[in-house]
Structure 1
Amino acid sequence: MKYKLILTAMMAGSFFMAKAQEKAKPEDTEIWEPVPKVVTPGEHLGDAPSDAIILFDGKNLDEWVQNSDGSPAKWDVADGILTVNKNYGNIETKKKFTNYQLHIEWREPDGLEGTGQGRGNSGIFLASIGKGDAGYELQVLDPYNNKTYVNGMAGSLYKQAIPLANPGRKNGEWQVYDVIWTAPVFNTDGSLKSAAYATVFFNGVLVENHFELKGPTLYIGKPEYKAHGPSPIKLQAHGDKSKPLSFRNIWVREL
């Protein structure tokens, strides 16, 4: 008897739901506002859209400073290309960011020597939270036939996330990173409210899929969060002895 009552109730519920659906209109589930802003895409794939902040357009380093002391950035600019100058250390953006979409292109030089981490090493710190190599690093390294630990290869979130694939091109060819960065959020007492996340496309191939970082990336030790606010984007002048690599076409969209 109990099961008959349950079945009857279920059938009655289904009947009333069906009747409600019969009365429903398409307009009931239409949303008209707020209307998304119009963004004009770049003319070619990889070109900056209309709402992007241009960080490097091939002309100058007006948007960058030295990470060590905040003085004007001193890397080399020639023929529309920015090349690492290891004599001056890391550079970072003047502007600080929270959540954003980043496009950046990089190239290892022809005739690159060295092996593993000593072969074309650099990094893109998605949030620079101090001097030196402090922050959250997306690794830049020769990706082509260059054996190294996989959580430190090109496309990795250094020492935390192994890339899902290796779509790297040969030395002398331009590589492309497209990144979605979600900054960590902290409570007023400094404790972590929500972690940082990164999604990375490497030459158009998804290599990090909304990965949750455990804190800033470290060379030694386990990561842990310490409260910070909006942060610059930093490019690394790594201390290896290989030829310096280059960057071009760097832009960001705040989200």
Structure 2
Amino acid sequence: MSGPAFAALATAVVAGWLALYRLPFNDPARRRRTALWLAGRTGLRPEAAFAVFGTAVYLVLGALALTVLLACTPLALHRLFAPPAPGTALALLLAVLGTSSANILGVSLLYRADPRVDVPGEIARIQWIASVLALPRHYRWIIPAAAALFEEVLFRGVILLGMAELGSGPVPALAFSTCLFAAGQVALVSTRVQAYVLGTSSLTLGVVGGLLTWATGGVLPALVLHMSFAGFYTNLSAASTPGARTAPGRLSL
């Protein structure tokens, strides 16, 4: 398979994964019925039961997408977790600082354009974040980190390095994997502010994480970057929005 053909396949597979994850539960009434059904069988609160269910659906469908794409490349999964060189720690620290600074700049520009915008509130209302905030506090780190781990293996590992193995150069592979990742994040939001914040942060994370992956040959540094980023900003949304929980009638997947 050629690099362009693999890129087309990756686009279709990722689009199918996100559509199957999002569309069946787009209806609030269906989400509510599902949450109540899950709560009755698990003993959890409806919000928490649905959050766990949503995470499981996301990861299971994503695992199927990853399996399909990995089978179309000459990559071996264990190669993606190759230990980085000892000097990578400094590069990772600079990457974390650079990514955070770029995202702070992006939000600052948004506030300059519209000082009345409520960025923490908008982020807390993103469906998957609202679900995470319905869980006990320690799970607010675990679930974003689990999603980040999976996304790095897929986008920076299988797609970025897979395109390289299939003959694509570093710039096309980095650009494609980053844009596909950002598009997938934006597809899961519902307002322009959410799209701007997640779109710009995903582009930054994709570029920096992609460069780390390309330089080290594995996803571990990018994985640490993404896991810390996802956990920190999810919990920052909770801290900045007192009582930010999913209301019973607005359960989200």
By relative contact order (CA 8 Å, sep 6+), the higher-ranking structure is 2
The structure with the largest helix share of the pair is 2
Q: Same fold (TM over 0.5)?
A: no
With structure 1 as the length reference, what TM-score do the two structures score? 0.28
Bigger radius of gyration, 1 or 2?
A: 1
With structure 2 as the length reference, what TM-score do the two structures score? 0.28
The structure with the largest strand share of the pair is 1
